[in-house]
Amino acid sequence: MLVKWMRCTVVDRRGFERGQRKWAGLLGEAGFRGQGGGWSQRRDAVAHVFSFWESRALYDAFMANSHDRLAAAQSGTYQERQVRLFEHRFDVKVGFEPKFTDVDVLRIAHCRVHEDRVEHFVQVQEKVWNPAMAGSPGMLRGFFGEAPGSEFLVLSMWNSVAEHGKYRTERVERLALRAQTEADVAAIAGDVVSIEPLWTV
């Protein structure tokens, strides 16, 4: 599975939201598995959208054909857009599905890892972070993806802001020490996203 992550700095919120609803046209596209997103809780006017595809080949076919027609509805509503693609490496908690109807917030961790520490970073994600998240009340499911250049995305879906907040307060610092995160990671950027139900496809 492939995930496409789009981060937009929005200048016309109403127009952007209206355009976002037009992406319902993705239904029926070969290889499309689901899309959802919302507004950053930390940065004004920043929107995050995630779309999931069965394979890179089917995604590329969509980009060459229907994409521009659907994207036209949002033209001029954002200033800056960053797009990244990640291949699924493994689930965070078993049985990942790209659905958003039961999700309140998404947590994004975007990591650039030292090349000589990639193996350790991936191992620790499986042995330390995944079990801790999977055992946290309110954590629904998640996705661990990889892009060329030792770049990784950890996406976790939560059923409430409160449950995610508890996990962050009670466990993250202790887990980071155990996982030796500072030694593995060259750069990390994160965000918490409030899901907009009308953006779900």
- Can you give the CATH number for the domain in which 112 is found? 3.30.70.100
Structural domain including 100 reads 2-199
Structure tokens at 20: 């976002």
Average pLDDT over the chain reads 91
Predicted local distance difference test score (pLDDT) of residue 167? 64
Strand bridging mode 78-92 / 139-147 = antiparallel
Count: domains in the chain:
1
| 170-201 tens-digit pLDDT | 666 666 676 677 888 999 999 999 999 999 99
Predicted local distance difference test score (pLDDT) of residue 11? 97
Q: What is the mean pLDDT of residues 84-91?
A: 96
Predicted local distance difference test score (pLDDT) of residue 39? 98
Whether residue 67 contacts residue 73, with contact meaning beta carbons closer than 8 Å, is answered with no
| 13-67 tens-digit pLDDT | 999 999 999 999 999 999 999 999 999 999 999 999 999 999 999 999 999 999 9
Report whether pLDDT(164) > 80. Answer: no
Predicted local distance difference test score (pLDDT) of residue 169? 61
Report whether pLDDT(120) > 90. Answer: yes
